[in-house]
Structure 1
Amino acid sequence: MAVFPVVKGTRLRATKVNSCGLPVSGNANYAVTNGWVSLTLSPVMQEAEELEQRNAEGRVCVAERTPPERKYYNLTLTLCQVNTCLISLFNGWEQELDWDGNAVGLRDQRKVESDYGVALEVWAGGKADDDCPTPEDDSIFASPTSGKSYGYFLTFGTEFTLGDIEIAASVANLTLTGITFAGPQWGRGPWNVVATNASNTPGRLLTPVTDDQHFLLQRTPIAPPDPTPGEECCPLDIAGKFTDPNFYFGGPDGEPAADVAPAQAACSVSP
C-alpha cells in the first residue's frame, strides 16, 4: 500500500503526442517549466441508468441498474506567464516571429487542434512517512540518494483552447482547457521517471500505459527534470534515439523494450 501526500506542483513537462499517445519527433516538441499555477482534472461521467419494466398490472417486474462509467476528464492548466512555445505546443497556434526569427507572440486560429495532443507530466512535493526508513546495514552507502520522493502524475490532453484574457492593473494568468484521452502508444514513455532497481537507477515506467487509462499517479524517488533553457521548447528525437538495443516497444526478433531511455540531445536557446 502506498500512502503519500500530494503537495505543491514542482515541475511540469509537456511532450507532443499523436491522438494515440505516441511521442512525436520534432524541433520543438517538448518543454519543461515551473511557470504554471495549477493543473485541474474534473471527471466527466456516463451517468448510471435505471432499467425498469412494469407488468400489465403496473408493478415492477424487472429492475436493473447500469453502473456509471468515466468518459474522460476536463483539463484546466493555468500558466503564470505567456510562454509562446508552450501554448503553441498545446493548441497548435502559430508563433509570431520578429525580424531575427525569435518568437515574440502568438496568432490564434479558428480550428481547435484534435489530431495531436500533449502528454502532461507533473511532479509534486510532499514528504511521505516511509521516505526515510531506518537502515538495517551499511549497504545504504552503496547507493546514496537525496532521501526525497515525489508524486508523479501523467495524463494526455487534446482540444486545448485559451480561456478569457483580462488586461488590467493585476497579473493576467492564461488558462488552457482541454480534455483527456487514452494514450496506449505512450507505452513506457520516452523519459526516465521511476526507479528500476534498489540503487534507484532512473528508468522508464515499469508497466506500459493501456488503452483504458487516462491518468497515472504514483510515488517516485526520481527527481523531476530541470526546466528547459529559457523554459523554451526543445527538439525531440524518438526513432533516432531508440535504436538497437534500446528499443521503444521492442525489437523485430522479440527483443525487449529498453528499461532506460536514451538521453535526448542537449537543448540550448540562442541569446
Structure 2
Amino acid sequence: MSCPLIANADVMRVTRLDQCGNPIPGDDNGYVFDCFASLAMNNNSDDGEDIEYKAANGRVCGYKKGCPTFRGFDLELNVFSVSPELIEILTGNPVVLGYDGAPIGFDTCSVKCDTGFGLELWAEVLGEACAEGATGQWIYFLLPWVSNGLLGDLEIGSEAVTLQITGSTKTGGNWGVGPYDVMPTDATGTPGPLLTPLEANCHRRTFITTTPPPAPSCDYVPVPA
C-alpha cells in the first residue's frame, strides 16, 4: 500500500453541466487553469439530535448520540486569473464579447441556481516511486456536480487581487465515468475514463493516478461527447 503525500495543487478543470448534472459536449464548455491560490472543501453536515433519558435523581438511564447527516461540501475557490470564460462557467453569468466575438469581460447579474459545473483537481504526489513508463503521480479529486456558483467580494487596490468563487456540491448528477481520460486502464498505463461511476449519493472521489493532467489554457477547451 502506498503512502502518498500531497505536495501542492497543480491543475484544475471545470466542465459545464446541464440542469440534470450531465456534462455538456461542445467547444466552449470546459476550462483548464493553474492560476489559483486554493480550493477549500468544507464539510456541510447536521449533527443530528442526541437522545438522553435522565431519571429524577439525575442519573442518566440511557443515551444515544445523534447520527450526523452529511449534506455535501461548501467550496471556496480563490483564483488569480480574471478570465471571462472561467467566471462564466463557474457562475453561469454571461460573457461580454468584443467586436471580433471573443470574450473580453463578464456581467454579474444573479445567482444561477439552475446551472452547475463539474470540478477536477490534480495535486502533485511527493515521495512516491512512479510505475514503469509513468511521467508522474497525482492525487485526483473529482466533484462531479457543483451549483450555486457566486463571485465574492472584490477589492481592487495596490495589492494583488484574488477572486473568490463559492459554491456547493450536489448528489444525483450524471457524470458517470466522465467525458475525459483521467486514470490508467491497464498495466501499461493506457489512459481512460473512470473505471466505475460514482454512486448516486456521493459528492467527491479521490484517487492516485499516473495519467497527467491537461495543459492549462487561457481559452475554452472542448468537452468530448
TM-score calculated relative to the size of structure 2: 0.90
1:223 and 2:212 equivalent? yes
Query: What CA distance in whole angstroms lies between the structure 2 residues aligned with 1:115 and 1:215?
Result: 20
Tell me the percent identity. 31
Q: CA deviation at 1:53?
A: 3.8
Deviations 1:154-190 (CA, angstroms, capped at 9, x unpaired): 1131101111111101111111011111254111111
Query: What CA distance in whole angstroms lies between the structure 1 residues aligned with 2:213 and 2:121?
Result: 8
Query: What CA distance in whole angstroms lies between the structure 1 residues aligned with 2:140 and 2:164?
Result: 22
The answer as to whether partners of 1:183 and 1:211 remain within 8 angstroms in 2 is yes
Q: CA deviation at 1:48?
A: 3.5
Query: What CA distance in whole angstroms lies between the structure 1 residues aligned with 2:102 and 2:21?
Result: 29
Q: Which moved more, 1:79-88 or 1:25-34?
A: 25-34
Q: CA deviation at 1:55?
A: 6.0
Q: CA deviation at 1:130?
A: 4.0
Q: Secondary structure at 2:189's aligned position in 1?
A: coil
Query: What CA distance in whole angstroms lies between the structure 2 residues aligned with 1:206 and 1:27?
Result: 25
The structure having more radius of gyration, on CA atoms, is: 1
Distance 1:20 1:57, change over 3 A: farther
Question: Which residue does the alignment assign to 1:172?
Answer: 161
Q: Secondary structure at 1:6's aligned position in 2?
A: strand
Q: CA deviation at 1:60?
A: 4.6
Within 5 A, what are the aligned runs for 1:100-111? 100-110=100-110
The answer as to whether partners of 1:40 and 1:77 remain within 8 angstroms in 2 is yes
Deviations 1:116-172 (CA, angstroms, capped at 9, x unpaired): 21111111112343436xxxxxxx5xxx332x2111111131101111111101111
Query: What CA distance in whole angstroms lies between the structure 2 residues aligned with 1:145 and 1:62?
Result: 56
Question: Which residue does the alignment assign to 2:180?
Answer: 191
Question: Which residue does the alignment assign to 1:150?
Answer: 138
Deviations 1:74-107 (CA, angstroms, capped at 9, x unpaired): 1011111201011000111111112222211111
Which of structures 1 and 2 has the larger relative contact order (alpha carbons within 8 angstroms, sep 6+)? 2
Q: Which moved more, 1:163-172 or 1:96-105?
A: 96-105
The answer as to whether partners of 1:18 and 1:117 remain within 8 angstroms in 2 is yes
Query: What CA distance in whole angstroms lies between the structure 2 residues aligned with 1:120 and 1:173?
Result: 19
Query: What CA distance in whole angstroms lies between the structure 2 residues aligned with 1:200 and 1:219?
Result: 13
Query: What CA distance in whole angstroms lies between the structure 2 residues aligned with 1:122 and 1:183?
Result: 20
Within 5 A, what are the aligned runs for 1:80-159? 80-110=80-110, 112-131=111-130, 144-146=133-135, 148-155=136-143, 156-159=145-148
Distance 1:53 1:19, change over 3 A: farther
Question: Which residue does the alignment assign to 2:171?
Answer: 182
The answer as to whether partners of 2:179 and 2:224 remain within 8 angstroms in 1 is no
The answer as to whether partners of 1:19 and 1:114 remain within 8 angstroms in 2 is no
The answer as to whether partners of 2:43 and 2:70 remain within 8 angstroms in 1 is yes
CA RMSD of aligned residues (A): 2.0
Deviations 1:221-263 (CA, angstroms, capped at 9, x unpaired): 11111123xx21134342xxxxxxxxxxxxxxxxxxxxxxxxx
Task: Structure 2: give runs of 5+ residues left out of the alignment.
Answer: none
Query: What CA distance in whole angstroms lies between the structure 2 residues aligned with 1:92 and 1:29?
Result: 11
Q: Secondary structure at 2:99's aligned position in 1?
A: coil
TM-score calculated relative to the size of structure 1: 0.76
Distance 1:22 1:2, change over 3 A: farther
- The aligned length equals 224
Query: What CA distance in whole angstroms lies between the structure 2 residues aligned with 1:19 and 1:2?
Result: 39
The answer as to whether partners of 2:180 and 2:224 remain within 8 angstroms in 1 is no
Within 5 A, what are the aligned runs for 1:56-75? 60-75=60-75
Query: What CA distance in whole angstroms lies between the structure 1 residues aligned with 2:36 and 2:184?
Result: 26
